[in-house]
Structure formats: structure tokens, C-alpha cells
Structure 1
Amino acid sequence: MALQSGYDRQPTIVIVRRLNIKKKPEENVVSDYQSFRFELADSVAHVQINRPEKLNAMNDAFWTEILEIFDWIERNDEVRVVVLSGAGKHFSSGIDLALLASVASQMGKDPGRNARLLRRKIRDMQASFTAVDTCRKPVLAAIQGYCLGGAIDLISACDMRYAAADAQFAIREIDMGMAADVGTLQRLPRIIGDGVLRELAYTGRTVGAEEAQRIGLVNRTFDDTEGLLQGVFAVAREIAEKSPLAIEGTKQMISYMRDHRVEDGLEHVAIWNAAMLQSPDLKLAMVAQMSKHKPVFDN
């Protein structure tokens, strides 16, 4: 069942699912997840939330599957860049209310055991998005329509975010009487700044695409979803043409600096490059620059 994509060039497509996650890409495993579609073409993985009839709400299967998908991506060098999108009119409306009801039904009368259950569930959800954040490969989010609640947690874990003109962003947890707990409050301050985050988290107000770009939440906006996907895949393919070792090292250094001093970061990159500058990628890139040809790097 090959997924046809209007954004890629004659793709060689691999679709994997939970039962076959350990199979190699060249075995051409073809199947669908419950909550996702997955394509691999030109070293770019397209991870698409695929519950458009439910506004791509994040049900129980979603949390298990996204963790497994990114574990597979992390371990397979055939993937160099990831594009994360939502099928249909909306990126995602956030956590499925049916999932919250299911968790509530498991709670009893003992506050201590209820707290243990809730903490375990929250930490499991956090781990799913941490897998996106810590993925060795750049993750680009393509956002149209609703991006609400848990969807903000998700895009906060991505490297870059791009939006269609109709995109709407809101930290809706405050209107549900709770604090966002899957990464928004921890990751967004470094993206849009502390003061802006506080306003959006305290009020729950909706931000349109134009304002999202102005505050730094998204890198660029596009007129419609088609233009959005074309633009994001163009950026992804450009990144995929670079040395995967150089891209991985660059991402690791940027991520490392979120929690460390400048001097720590300088020492960290020195240790990294002491090993990686011995890679043939450096010589290949230099020769290509001098000869004005585009280099082709191994995985």
C-alpha cells in the first residue's frame, strides 16, 4: 500500500508499523499504524498523524506509536531528516478526551495510588515527546489548522516549526483547570521567551500564524497546506543532502547549550570534532566546494 505524496520526487516508500518495527527498510514492510502514516523517501521520513476524522486527537495508541516510530528513526541511518505533519485540515487538537476519561476510570479512592497512576501516565507521555526532542535527526513540524494543547507540547520538541496561514496555536490546558505537563512549559521558553510563554500559558488565548512567526514560534508561514508541505519538504531535502555526521553534531551542540555554560559547550564541541573531523565527509565536502559540485555523503 504505497502512500502517494505530492511533495516528494518519485519516492521509494517504506511504511512500518509496530509489529514490524525491527525489520530493515530494504525489506519493504508495508503497513499502517493506528494513529500514523510513515513514509521514507530521499532520506526524509514523513511522520503524519492520521486521525483526521478526530481532528488528529492524541489517543492511547498515538503515544505508544510515536515513541516506537522515533526509536526506529533513531536507529536507522537511512533517515536523515524527519517531517512531522497532520492529515486533513488540522495538525492536531491535542489529547483525546476519551483517553483522559479512560485514565480517570482507573482511579480509585486511595489518593496515594491515584497519584502514582497519574505520575506514571504523565511520565510515559513525556517520554514519547522526549524521543522527538532527543532524536539525532532534525525534526521539522508542518502545521495547519488547529495546534492545541498537547500539540503545542509536540511541536515544542521539534527543531523547527512552519505554519500555513490558517494555523491556530493555543495552550489550552489552562482552560481545563490544569498546567501543561508534557513539555510546553519546559521547552517553549527557549523558543519564544519567558514573558510571551507566560502570557499564552496563563490566558490560553489563540495565536494565529502571523503572530506565531513574529514571536518566533514558527520559522515561516505559507498561504495554504499544499504550499506548506512543499516548502517544508524542500528544506528537509536540503538538510538531507548535508553530511549526516555534521548535522548530528550541530544538533547535539545546539541542544547541549540549552542546559550548559558557554565554556562547557566549547569543550563539548572540541571533543566531538576531535573525532568527527577524521571522517571522510570533511575531505569530500572540501573537494566538492573547490570543484563546485554537490557532494554525496554516505549514511
Structure 2
Amino acid sequence: MGQFNFFEIEKQSENRMATVYLNGPDARNSMVWDFWKELPELVDYLEQDESIKCVVIASKKKSFSVGLELNEFGEKFGDIIQGATADKRMQFLKLIQDMQSGFIRMMNSPIVFLGAVHRHCIGGALDLICACDIRLAAKDASVSLRETKVAIVADMCSLNRLPGIIGQGNTRLMAFTGADYDAQKCKEMGLFSEIYEGQEELHKQAQSMANEIAANPGIVLKGVKEQLNYMADHTPEEGLKYVAVWNAAFLDSEDFRELQAAFKERRRPVYRS
């Protein structure tokens, strides 16, 4: 395992991070079937390497991605999409759920994912970065929740994750219009944390941020992500109870003991997880 058609993986084991480049068949990284089939397999593969704590998702091509390749999708699944019987509708439901599974795997993974966007980020590409924990962009990035304009109710990730990232108002603006929004507007909305001059600087800074994140204890990164995911549909009081139980169970880790020793010895801690 580890050979993918749509993804190119560069591991930096010494820094405990990796960069995954979208590597579709065309210059704008249209999401052909390989993307949807391989994304959950990619997350499984990355998780098998316990040294990997943070992953940058980027593209070396002309665009980050223009989203679902509609022509291929229609040719491959047209009989299911237009099926007239309940059996065909169930097959289509299963297909949608299979396509969603990669994003769900990313959201539930202990790995911290950073999306690094340049040029086009349309439809399924927006779904992809919504499944990430942090999003960065080059100043030429252009983002669209395009499904409305192509007669689809967005069903992968964006309508479900965006309200928690940019708020209901901005999500409704993007969803109802299907319009293009530039990097600065997206940063004002809260979609992007930082904007950089160009693709090269974006990738450099994304990897630098990933290195900084991966230098922290893995057990703590996992716990932080677990808490933030839990808070998506729980009250602050419920969250405080949950994190109290978490720390009661997992605070006294090897890394925490290393921190205490390092503090006493006035040196930098060397974390193991």
C-alpha cells in the first residue's frame, strides 16, 4: 500500500509530518473517481505511520482543484443516478455515502490536516479543505461552493462543516449564490487563517506550520482534536465535563512526565508520541 493514482505523498519522517499533493490527470486537478476511491485509503495509509502527526494537503499543479469531474461521473454512474427503482436509489445512496467516507475519515483522524489552496478551489475541493483542521491560501485563491450552479445540493462536507468555520450567514451567502470568493474575502469570513504571496511561499509556510504543530506531543494533538470535534454539537458545560474526564484519564503521559523532567533540568523536552 502507499501507491496512489491521485495523490503524491512526501513524508518528512524526521519532522513527523507529510505533504500530500493532489495529482489528478489534468492541470486543474479535476476530482476523477480515483480521488473519491482513494481518499479513505490515503487516510488509512497515513495513520499506519504513527510518526506522522500533521499532513499538508496541497497541489503543485495550476490549481488546487476544480472539484468533481462531472462528465466522468455521469458516464460512470449515470444508470444509478437516473435509476427508476428503489434498488437503484439505494445504490445511489450507497455511492454518496462512499464518497463522503474520505472526508469523515479526515475529520475523525488523530492527524492534523492543513489545506494549502492556490488558484481554483471549487465544489469538492471546498469540501476537502472543510474536512481539514486549518486552511491557508495564496492570494490568488478563488473559492466557490459551486454545487448550486450545477443543480446539486452540496452533499459531501461544505454545508455541514462551513457553518462552524465561517458562520451561518456566510455559509448561506456562499451556498445560495454559488459565486466565486477571493482569498481576502475568505480570510475575512474565517475560512483561511493566513494568506501568502504565491504558491511557493504558501507551500513553504504550510510546511513550516505543520512542523511546528508536529513538534507537540501526539497524544495531546489527538486530545485537542477530539475535544474540538466533540464541541461541534455539545454545550460548553458538556465539553468541560468531557475534557475533565479526558485529562483525568490521559494527562499523565510519558510526554507530560518528560515535560516535568525537562522543566526541572532547564532544557527543552523531547517528546516521544
- Taking structure 2 as the reference length, the TM-score comes to 0.94
Q: In the alignment, which residue of structure 1 is the partner of 2:55?
A: 82
Of stretches 127-136 and 258-267 in structure 1, the one that deviates more from structure 2 is 258-267
Relative distance call for 1:100 and 1:295 in structure 2 (3 A) is farther
1:39 aligns with 2:13: no
2:198 match: 224
Match for residue 28 of structure 1? none
- Indicate conservation of the 8 Å contact 1:52/1:88, yes or no: no
Q: What residue identity is the alignment partner of 1:38?
A: I
Distance 1:290 1:124, change over 3 A: same
In the TM superposition, what is the alpha-carbon distance from 1:263 to its structure 2 partner?
2.0
| CA drift at 1:280 | 2.0
Alignment of 1:107-146 (within 5 A): 110-146=84-120
Q: Partner letter of residue 5 of structure 2? A: Q
- The answer on 1:155 being equivalent to 2:126 is no
Equivalent residues, number: 270
Say if 1:54 and 1:279 are closer, same or farther in 2 by CA, change over 3 A.
same
Equivalent in 198, 210, 234 of residue 184 of structure 2: 210
Whole-angstrom CA distance in 2 between matches of 1:238 and 1:220: 15
Which of 48, 55, 70 is the aligned partner of 2:28? 55
**2: CA distance, partners of 1:293 / 1:90:** 44
SS of the aligned residue for 1:38 comes to strand
Alpha-carbon shift at residue 86 of structure 1 (Å): 1.8
- What is the aligned partner in structure 2 of residue 24 from structure 1? none
Matched residue type, 2:20: V
* Equivalent AA in structure 1 for residue 181 of structure 2: V
* Distance across 1 between alignment mates of 2:50 and 2:115: 20
Secondary structure of the residue that 1:257 maps to in structure 2? helix
Q: Which of the two has greater helix per residue?
A: 2
Tell which has more relative contact order, 1 or 2 (C-alpha 8 A, sep 6+).
2
For 1:282, the equivalent position in structure 2 comes to: 256
CA contact (8 A) 1:56 1:87 kept: no
- 1:243 and 1:115, CA in 2 relative to 1: closer, same or farther beyond 3 A? same
Q: Could you tell me how far apart the structure 2 residues matched to 1:108 and 1:217 are? A: 35
Residue 268 of structure 1: how far off its partner (Å): 1.3
Query: Relative to 1, partners in 2 of residues 1:203 and 1:197: Cα closer, same or farther, differing over 3 Å?
Result: same
Match of 1:199 in 2: 173
Tell me, yes or no, if the aligned pair for 1:174 and 1:201 is still in contact at 8 Å. Answer: yes
SS in 2 for 1:48: strand
Say if 2:27 and 2:61, in contact at 8 Å, map to a contact too. no
Provide the C-alpha distance between the structure 2 equivalents of 1:218 and 1:79, rounded to a whole number of angstroms. Answer: 23
Query: Structure 1 residues 107, 170: CA separation in 2 closer, same or farther (over 3 Å shift)?
Result: closer
User: Per-residue CA shift, 1:194-243, capped at 9, x if unaligned?
Assistant: 01100110001100011111110000000000100111111100111111
Contact 2:80 2:92 in 1 (8 A): no
Amino acid paired to 1:198:
R
- Percent identity, aligned pairs only, is 33
- 1:52 Cα deviation (Å)? 6.0
Provide TM-score, normalisation by structure 1: 0.86
* Alignment root-mean-square deviation, CA: 1.6
